[in-house]
Copies of this chain bind each other. A is one copy, B any other.
């Protein structure tokens, strides 16, 4: 596997192993891409019916978000609703890579847990990032505080999502990132699979597609199951699962699907609170019990709190610390959160690091196989390679939230500036192999309008992990999220820009 040993090599060496795409044929300005003839074309007379049926289906089945054009839509449920943006048809995906991604989920679940227990590894690996990234620095402070207090999390709940792209040249499944906090779309991703199955049940014959090839997606029920199991471990039937939310949340219905499932299937009550509210209303009882607004909190589930923007004042940090000090089950606890940083992703890709945390050689090989090339900029050779051939790299800042990645000529500019400035600025970034996924001709529907162009997709696999001090209670793959965006706005990932929800068509 050319990309496995590469993580420890200078990028130039690693890239020589990649079959280089012909720039004349496949590069388009700063966005090299592969276009495939495998895209779908829906007959003109069928298309409007298909779009209308999909829009109706979304409205009737709660595949909705708040409409940015409506000021109240992020705060008041039931008003300013619009269908969630979606792809009209599922995206082709090879069965073997699909299975590979699913099999990786429990291994990554275990890896996160193991790494989280090595406080020194986390602190050491992130020590330079700490100096240049204020947000990571605050997280590390909390982590250090818990280490100093010898605070143990005996019940640990992880709800992760590992995001992948398929490299078009090699057909390799390569990891983009591993999310350990606030993984969105467990609710809506399921609905898109159902939407696509329903459309193919009605129009599959016209399109030569079979609805059975869209894998069923049960993320919402399995994630709710994991939250309920954790709630059960806490062992207080009057306690609640507390969702940490933003004041304004246009993606609230995705969260509400999870709350509804918790209530209807498991009889578990949900409390929705912002970090600021928790600071106002929360208190710790002497035994460590967290009470918020009169409710005992069994599980803290973060759907906010992953980005510096979520902490506009000290109040939010106080709330975070209060929760971390409590006996509530945190999803995630501070160390799980840190394991999801890009710097740790890069550290884990170094030779012999995975071996410190996993014993099973097959598991190690499987994980390593999905690592793209990842390099620290502390090595001047990496900087040189990236300056020379920036089109083969992505410069990723530690900063969370997506849309901050740097490509093409901007890589040169950024690296020149950081090198000139001296200091530790380079530590705020990691360098990653740029992945060129296959583009498919796609129909993306947003605000009731269908757009038709080449698009690329990113597959996220949800994982759920729960253990107490005695044993692992749950370690599962939970379902998937497919996101698609037009290649013209391709910046190597789909988190930024006009991305839509999609599903998989197994090939």
Q: Which residues of A contact B (CB under 8 A)?
A: 52, 54-62, 64, 67, 72, 76-83, 202, 253, 256-257, 259-260, 263, 447-448
29 residue pairs of the A-B complex, CB under 8 angstroms, read: A54-B78, A55-B76, A55-B78, A56-B77, A56-B78, A56-B253, A56-B259, A59-B62, A59-B64, A59-B77, A59-B78, A59-B81, A59-B253, A60-B253, A60-B256, A60-B260, A61-B62, A62-B62, A64-B81, A76-B448, A77-B448, A78-B83, A78-B448, A79-B82, A79-B83, A79-B447, A81-B81, A81-B82, A202-B263
Smallest CB–CB gap between A180 and chain B, Å? 27
A59 touches B202 (CB 8 A): no
B59 touches A60 (CB 8 A): no
Q: Which residues of B contact A56 (CB under 8 A)?
A: 77-78, 253, 256, 259-260
Smallest CB–CB gap between A158 and chain B, Å? 27
Residue of B nearest to A83 (CB): B78
Q: Which residues of B contact A80 (CB under 8 A)?
A: 67, 82
Query: Which of A54, A83, A257, A448 has the most chain B CB atoms inside 10 A of its CB?
Result: A448
Q: Which residues of B contact A78 (CB under 8 A)?
A: 54-56, 58-59, 82-83, 448
Cα(A58)–Cα(B79), bound, Å:
10
Known: A54-B78, A57-B260, A59-B256. 7 other contacts (CB 8 A): A52-B77, A56-B77, A56-B260, A62-B62, A64-B81, A77-B448, A79-B448
Residue of B nearest to A76 (CB): B448
Q: Which residues of B contact A59 (CB under 8 A)?
A: 62, 64, 77-78, 81, 253, 256
Cα(A62)–Cα(B58), bound, Å:
9
Cα(A72)–Cα(B59), bound, Å:
14
Q: Which residues of B contact A257 (CB under 8 A)?
A: 60
Smallest CB–CB gap between A24 and chain B, Å? 42
Smallest CB–CB gap between A111 and chain B, Å? 35
Q: Which residues of B contact A61 (CB under 8 A)?
A: 62
Q: Which residues of B contact A259 (CB under 8 A)?
A: 56
Q: Which residues of B contact A253 (CB under 8 A)?
A: 56, 59-60
Residue of B nearest to A191 (CB): B60
Query: Which of A59, A67, A72, A202 has the most chain B CB atoms inside 10 A of its CB?
Result: A59
Smallest CB–CB gap between A49 and chain B, Å? 10
Q: Which residues of B contact A60 (CB under 8 A)?
A: 62, 253, 256-257, 260
Cα(A52)–Cα(B271), bound, Å:
12
Cα(A448)–Cα(B73), bound, Å:
10
Cα(A54)–Cα(B260), bound, Å:
12
Q: Which residues of B contact A57 (CB under 8 A)?
A: 260
Q: Which residues of B contact A77 (CB under 8 A)?
A: 52, 55-56, 59, 448
Cα(A83)–Cα(B58), bound, Å:
14
Cα(A451)–Cα(B58), bound, Å:
29
Q: Which residues of B contact A448 (CB under 8 A)?
A: 72, 76-79
Q: Which residues of B contact A447 (CB under 8 A)?
A: 79
Cα(A447)–Cα(B59), bound, Å:
17
Cα(A448)–Cα(B75), bound, Å:
10
Cα(A448)–Cα(B448), bound, Å:
23
Q: Which residues of B contact A67 (CB under 8 A)?
A: 79-80
